Structure 1
Amino acid sequence: MIWLLFLALAALALAPLGLTLLRPPRAKGRHDADLALYRAQLAELEREREAGRLDEPAFAAARTEVQRRLLAAPTQEASPRAGRGAATLAAGLFLIPALGLGLYIWHGAPDVPAAPYVERAAAAARDDALLDQLRARLAMTPPQSEGARQGWLLLGNAERARGRLDAAVEAFARVLVIRPDPGIAAELVELHIQRGDTNAASGLLVEALRQAPADPRLRYLSGLLEARAGRPQNARSVWQALLADSPADAPWRALLERELQGLP
């Protein structure tokens, strides 16, 4: 049944294309326009005769004249481009659904059951309950303890994974208050950039670089902020300096080279 449904949806999506192929071609060029005009004149003469406004001799003479003009109209060869276009459309009627089906069989996972909304809502409710429990435990934990730091770090990662960037920023900021850490500062700077708060990211980055000026991630983020602020020359200087200080096997060298190539 599922494959029949897919085929029905594909047929519905391609119906306008099929109608285009079946629809008579519109007049194109002088020749086709003349033919359409002469045929319309013949049809009009037939209606005039049936209505009694033309007698038989007058109708025959007028029809002969229109037919003479029709035969005298210059012929025109069919456009090969139009023929290729129709052939392409006809091939698309078959190739598009076939390609889609092939890609689904290749990369899809038809055996994986769908996740109904009810199940996803229940999973989200369970996650909310767990995070509420974590917040409740943090409220009873000494605020400057290592346990509080680990708890806020766990909460920040969970909130970021769920796309709740404001809550993640608050959690990572609490981690930094307990103990400064260049890695956590870099996480928080990235979150500020994702939220579009470049001012907060810049202020935090300046303080973090003062504490750890050689940290490669912080230096990369410094160049990223310069690029986002419309200062590509400053970004290039920061990234080139970082690239020069990076070991040959540093995993971030490829990223830096791509970023440098993308600068205007």
Structure 2
Amino acid sequence: MSGVSIWLALGLLAVAALLPLAITLLGPARARGRGEADLGLYRAQLAELAREKEAGRLDAAAHRAAVLEVQRRLLAAPAEAGPAEDRRSRWVLAAALVAVPGLALGLYLRSGIPDMPSAPFALRHEIAARDDRLLDDLRVRLGQLPPESSQAREGWTLLGNAERGRGRLAAAAEAYRKALAGGFDADLTGQLAQVLLEEGRNEEAQALLAAALPRAQGHVGLRFLAGLAEAQAGRPESAKAAWRALIADAPPEAPWRAMVERRLNALP
């Protein structure tokens, strides 16, 4: 393929990828609440995860973990945004529509090599080893901070996210526990509980959630995970009771309501 053909193909791919966003931005504004936007993003992310699984880039376990993470974020979504915030979001998206392909093209013109082969195994192994050293160094430095300090909590949380992203669930759980040493945080507790459930450590997750729920009775994410823990423990009736109570307390427009109902209806 000639150089011109390569650039033409890349340009067409970029246009195709950004066309839906352009149509949305350039079309007439619609009354769209934050809940609707969150739900739309949730559906798009699930569709993308399904495509990744079908293409063989995600195995079944990684797909389940990713879907659960998307659901957790939906449950933790903030309240409705106002018109001013919606206008700001449209301007940000419009700027991204122009800036992202331009930035990508500039970087490619500077250092791109179309015919470069994929990184060999030895190089990927070297990069992974380097990342291991960096995370180990971060772990040592965080261990020298006062456990109750905000710097320690933020650092351990970031380390937990990094370990989780690499599929090292035990290390992620340990980091999240250290982050919680500085004090209770409902969202962070939910992240730890989710990692424990992903790893199959149901009893630990249930004990964690049982201790956390009295301190954050209205936290949607913790209540959802409590039901999930019951379902994974083979107690569908208890899971149904937890999720029915969650749905009963949910406003009709809650963007996560349909997701919980589907989970509930899928139980035996």
Q: TM-score under structure 1 normalisation?
A: 0.56
- How far the C-alpha of 1:178 sits from its partner, in A, is 0.8
Contact persistence 2:147–2:181 (CA under 8 A): no
Matched, 1:153 2:144: no
Question: Which protein shows a greater Rg?
Answer: 1
In the alignment, which residue of structure 1 is the partner of 2:266? 262
Moved over 3 A (4+): 110-113
Q: 2:169 aligns with which of 142, 165, 168?
A: 165
Partner of 2:184, secondary structure, is coil
In the alignment, which residue of structure 1 is the partner of 2:42? none
Deviations 1:108-159 (A, max 9, x none): xx97842310221121122112212212321322222111111111111111
- Structure 2 alignment gaps of length 5 or more: 1-53, 56-113
Q: 2:239 aligns with which of 228, 235, 239?
A: 235
Matched, 1:200 2:204: yes
- Structure 1 alignment gaps of length 5 or more: 1-102, 105-109
The aligned amino acid for 1:250 is A
Matched, 1:180 2:192: no
Q: Residue 132 and residue 248 in structure 1: after superposition, are their counterparts in 2 closer, same or farther (change >3 A)?
A: same
Q: Superposition pairs for residues 214-233 of structure 1, below 5 Å?
A: 214-233=218-237
In structure 2, distance between residues paired with 1:112 and 1:253: 47
Matched, 1:144 2:148: yes
How many percent of aligned residue pairs carry the same amino acid?
Answer: 50
The aligned amino acid for 1:201 is A
In structure 1, distance between residues paired with 2:253 and 2:116: 40
Q: Residue 111 and residue 138 in structure 1: after superposition, are their counterparts in 2 closer, same or farther (change >3 A)?
A: same
In structure 1, distance between residues paired with 2:127 and 2:182: 32
Partner of 1:218, secondary structure, is helix
Q: Residue 139 and residue 253 in structure 1: after superposition, are their counterparts in 2 closer, same or farther (change >3 A)?
A: same
Q: Superposition pairs for residues 73-152 of structure 1, below 5 Å?
A: 113-152=117-156
Partner of 1:114, secondary structure, is coil
In structure 2, distance between residues paired with 1:206 and 1:148: 25
Q: Superposition pairs for residues 36-51 of structure 1, below 5 Å?
A: none
Q: 2:249 aligns with which of 231, 245, 252?
A: 245
In structure 1, distance between residues paired with 2:214 and 2:262: 27
The aligned amino acid for 2:184 is P
In structure 2, distance between residues paired with 1:228 and 1:258: 16
Deviations 1:80-110 (A, max 9, x none): xxxxxxxxxxxxxxxxxxxxxxx99xxxxx9
In the alignment, which residue of structure 2 is the partner of 1:86? none
Query: Which structure carries more relative contact order (alpha carbon 8 Å, separation 6+)?
Result: 2
The aligned amino acid for 1:137 is R
The aligned amino acid for 2:135 is L
